[in-house]
Amino acid sequence: MHKDMVNGDGLITQCEFREAAREDVPKIVDLLNETIVEVYGQILSEDMLESLMEGDQLSSDVNNSWQNMIVAEKAGEIVAVAARFNEMVGLIWVHPAHQKEGIGSVLLDIVEKEIKKSGYGTANLACFSDNGGALRFYLDKGWRILCEEKDEKAGALKMVMTKTLTSS
């Protein structure tokens, strides 16, 4: 689908972006399980984190939606994943060890282009309000906040964001 081999300070080196395949499901679930505490530990309650990690919810979610996912692979290892559902960016998840390398930006660009190609003029997403790094990332990429609302399932506030998609 897309390869980046940019060399420079903090930029992608030899990363392949491609549509997820069924055989990627265990690797995607591992990526999420390995990093969920680091990513959401300060946002979600301990009970919520435990239910995500110990139950089959993550595995079930990935099994039900891998067809909507794009993965980023470095040296055969999945280091990031993105998902979209119609006009909704469902997920941009980059392993903390690979953040600030430009991988999330490339994934978001790919997802935005797919949403636009599907006929939508705007894209939407939700991001936990306490996830300052992600909020800054989306704002820097041209997204704007529509509202803040409570995610009842997660027990945390989230920002609902939107972006008008332009032709590129």
- pLDDT: is 38 or 70 the higher one? 70
* Mean pLDDT lowest among 50-59, 102-111, 123-132, 148-157: 50-59
Statement: residue 52 has pLDDT above 80:
no
Among residues 60, 62, 83, which one has the least CA distance to residue 71?
A: 83
For residue 151, the model assigns a pLDDT of: 92
Q: pLDDT tens digits, residue range 60-94?
A: 888 899 999 999 999 999 999 999 999 999 999 99
Q: Tell me the percentage of the chain whose pLDDT exceeds 90.
A: 65
CA 12, CA 14: separation in Å to the nearest integer? 7
Side chain identity, residue 150: K
The answer to whether the predicted template modeling score (pTM) of the entire model surpasses 0.85 is yes
Token readout for 123 is 């894209």
Edge-to-edge order in the sheet of strand 156-164: 2-4, 15-19, 69-74, 77-85, 88-94, 122-128, 156-164, 144-151
For residue 55, the model assigns a pLDDT of: 64
Average pLDDT over residues 97-111: 94
For residue 8, the model assigns a pLDDT of: 47
What's the Rg (C-alpha) of the chain?
A: 15
106 CB neighbour count, 10 Å cutoff: 20
The CATH-assigned architecture of domain 2-164 is 3-Layer(aba) Sandwich (3.40)
For residue 54, the model assigns a pLDDT of: 74
For residue 45, the model assigns a pLDDT of: 83
Average pLDDT over residues 52-57: 74
Q: pLDDT tens digits, residue range 12-32?
A: 558 999 999 999 999 999 998
Q: What angle do CA 94, 92, 110 make, to 5 degrees?
A: 105
Domain boundaries, the chain: 2-164
- Mean pLDDT across the chain, nearest whole number? 88
